[in-house]
């Protein structure tokens, strides 16, 4: 079959694939579908309970994409069409999950079911039908760093082996069961172990992806506009919401935790390399992040405030941040990962991938999108709220 001119990293032609993308209507799924439609000849079976973020691709598909993408509205918890769709595809990519920290300690049962139980049939159908699986896990399976257990000023905290997170070497360190924050990480770890075991015992061809804070346009929702007013999305959308409403950004427990942020479009390049280079990607777990984009959450708040002022033309707030306790913000049972530096050795060696976009640039693009997409809607919603 024609390859659409695409070659893999070893120079061989890539045959057009049919890819079953579960969770295609989410943040990562929407960028992945866009990339596959724009740059490859592959066909997508897009599964999700919602399609708002891929409406431009599927409702209905524009004429040039006819026959290349089809949306199947289904819940993988209980839909008998799932196995048939996996059988129709060459490759399944499972993105479906509850993956917002505000849910981990307040809806631990839903979190565990979504990230472990609901993923089981997907793994089973791939294994039984000899279909390749790319499963999305999380950097959170590493939990806390070894260094976090040392005194704050201990010199070993500065040594990379005490904080750099390496796929096949670093341990997974979670808090106690009462800290229900770890329900997500623990469910993701168990599904990783199951996928790995299916590979070892039954020959499942798999790749596991551990995203390290991928961010960009279309991430999550703005509370009260395209999501519930009381909803708490991930930090990019929380801070965007504060900036749009001209209210201080809330720093949980002082905003001392550190994160590395990678631009969604860089990260999607890595996923495409995995899709088109099975011989190099199968059997591996890959970190996908940008170790050069590390900030504390406080620094992220300061940077977003500065960038938002630039792209919106609005003056920054006099008091841009406010401290809030984790208990107040997330409720009982919250805990946090202290620091997340991905080791990039493996993905660089296997797939030659490196992230490109500096944090400032990706925030500029993303906050320009947030401002254009949401400013008027937020204004209207705030007016309505004061009128009632
Ligand atoms: P997202 O919430 O935007 O997307 C998940 C999608 O899955 C949603 O559209 C949701 O409707 C769908 N879904 C959930 N349960 C479903 C079900 N039962 N049936 C059908 N569809 C269902 O999240 P995302 O940021 O795109 O994350 C995708 C994956 O990547 C998740 O597995 C997540 O754990 C992992 N991940 C993402 C990040 C990140 O930085 N964005 C970090 C770590 C891990
Ligand atoms: N956070 C914060 N204020 C907010 C939202 C999040 O200080 O309004 C912090 C949160 O406690 C964590 C970090 O930002 O330390 C990243 O949170 P996110 O929800 O993006 O997910 P995580 O990286 O923890 O998976």
List, for residues 277-312, the tens digit of each pLDDT value.
999 999 999 999 999 999 999 999 999 999 999 999
Q: Which residues are catalytic?
A: 184
Question: Is the separation of the CB atoms in 341 and 294 below 8 Å?
Answer: yes
What is residue 385's predicted lDDT score, i.e. its pLDDT? 83
Confidence of residue 387 (pLDDT cuts 50, 70, 90): confident
Q: What is the pLDDT of residues 314-334, one digit of tens each?
A: 999 999 999 999 999 999 999
Q: What is the pLDDT of residues 249-273, one digit of tens each?
A: 999 999 999 999 999 999 999 999 9
Question: Is the separation of the CB atoms in 71 and 46 below 8 Å?
Answer: yes
Question: Is the separation of the CB atoms in 258 and 295 below 8 Å?
Answer: yes
Residue 111 clears pLDDT 60, i.e. is over it: yes
Atom of ligand 1 nearest to the CA of 50: 11
Distances 233 to 15, 119, 191, 206, 343 between C-alpha atoms, Å: 38, 22, 24, 30, 27
What is the distance between the alpha carbons of residues 56 and 42, in angstroms, rounded to a whole number?
A: 18
CA of 298 to the centre of ligand 2 (A): 10
CA of 262 to the centre of ligand 2 (A): 15
Q: Where do the domains of the chain lie, and which CATH numbers do they carry?
A: 97-374 (3.40.50.720)
Which of 4 and 362 is assigned the larger pLDDT? 362
What is residue 2's predicted lDDT score, i.e. its pLDDT? 52
Return mean pLDDT, the chain: 97
Q: Which residues contact 27 (CB under 8 A, 6 or more apart)?
A: 53, 214, 216, 218, 219, 220, 264
What is residue 132's predicted lDDT score, i.e. its pLDDT? 98
The residue whose CB lies within 8 Å of the most ligand 1 atoms, and thus the one to mutate among 46, 211, 235, is 211
- Ligand index nearest the alpha carbon of residue 300: 2
CA of 114 to the centre of ligand 2 (A): 21
- Ligand index nearest the alpha carbon of residue 337: 2
Q: What is the pLDDT of residues 56-109, one digit of tens each?
A: 999 999 999 999 999 999 999 999 999 999 999 999 999 999 999 999 999 999
ipTM of predicted assembly, 2 dp: 0.99
For ligand 2, residues with CB inside 6 Å are 101, 140, 213, 234-235, 238, 250-252, 255, 257, 259, 297, 336
Which residue in 137, 132, 145, 101 sits closest to 116, CA to CA?
A: 137
What is residue 384's predicted lDDT score, i.e. its pLDDT? 85
Atom of ligand 2 nearest to the CA of 213: 23
- Ligand index nearest the alpha carbon of residue 213: 1
Q: Is 152 exposed, middle or buried (0-12, 13-18, 19+ CB in 10 A)?
A: exposed
What is residue 371's predicted lDDT score, i.e. its pLDDT? 98
Question: Is the separation of the CB atoms in 47 and 54 below 8 Å?
Answer: no
CA of 229 to the centre of ligand 2 (A): 18
For 136-172, what is the HEC assignment?
A: ECCHHHHECCHHHHCCCCCHHHHCHHHCEECCCCCCC
What is the distance between the alpha carbons of residues 362 and 341, in angstroms, rounded to a whole number?
A: 18
The residue whose CB lies within 8 Å of the most ligand 2 atoms, and thus the one to mutate among 185, 252, 262, 366, is 252
Q: What is the pLDDT of residues 2-42, one digit of tens each?
A: 566 899 999 999 999 999 999 999 999 999 999 999 999 99
Q: What is the pLDDT of residues 227-249, one digit of tens each?
A: 999 999 999 999 999 999 999 99
């Amino acid at each position: 079959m024609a390859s659409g001119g695409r070659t893999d990293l070893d120079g061989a032609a890539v045959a057009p694939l049919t890819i079953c993308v579960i969770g295609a209507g989410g943040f990562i799924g929407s960028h992945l579908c866009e990339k596959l439609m724009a740059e490859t000849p592959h066909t997508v079976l897009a599964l999700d309970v919602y399609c708002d973020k891929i409406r431009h691709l599927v409702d209905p598909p524009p004429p040039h994409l006819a026959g290349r993408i089809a949306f199947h509205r289904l819940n993988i918890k209980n839909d008998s069409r799932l196995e048939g769709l996996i059988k129709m595809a060459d490759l399944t990519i499972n993105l479906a999950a509850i993956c917002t920290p505000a849910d981990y300690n307040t809806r631990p049962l839903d979190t565990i079911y979504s990230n472990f139980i609901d993923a089981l049939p997907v793994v089973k159908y791939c294994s039984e039908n000899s279909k390749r699986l790319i499963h999305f896990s999380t950097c959170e399976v590493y939990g806390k760093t070894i260094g976090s257990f040392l005194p704050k000023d201990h010199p070993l905290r500065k040594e990379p082996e005490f904080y750099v997170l390496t796929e096949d070497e670093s341990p997974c360190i979670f808090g106690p069961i009462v800290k229900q924050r770890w329900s997500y990480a623990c469910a993701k770890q168990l599904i990783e172990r199951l996928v790995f075991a299916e590979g070892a015992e039954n020959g499942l061809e798999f790749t596991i992806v551990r995203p390290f804070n991928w961010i960009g346009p279309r991430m999550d929702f703005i509370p009260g506009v395209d999501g519930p007013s009381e909803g708490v999305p991930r930090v990019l959308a929380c801070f965007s919401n504060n900036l749009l409403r001209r209210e201080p950004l809330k720093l949980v427990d002082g905003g001392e935790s550190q994160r590395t942020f990678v631009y969604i479009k860089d990260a999607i390049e890595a996923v495409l390399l995995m899709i088109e280079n099975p011989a190099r990607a199968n059997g591996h777990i890959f970190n996908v992040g940008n170790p050069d984009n590390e900030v504390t959450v406080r620094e992220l708040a300061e940077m977003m405030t500065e960038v938002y002022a630039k792209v919106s033309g609005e003056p920054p707030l006099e008091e841009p941040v406010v401290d809030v306790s984790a208990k107040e913000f997330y409720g009982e049972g919250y805990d946090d990962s202290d620091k997340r530096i991905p080791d990039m050795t493996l993905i660089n060696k296997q797939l030659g991938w490196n992230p490109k976009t500096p944090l400032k640039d990706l925030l500029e693009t993303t906050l320009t999108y947030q401002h254009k997409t949401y400013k008027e809607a937020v204004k209207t919603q705030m007016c309505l709220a004061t009128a009632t």
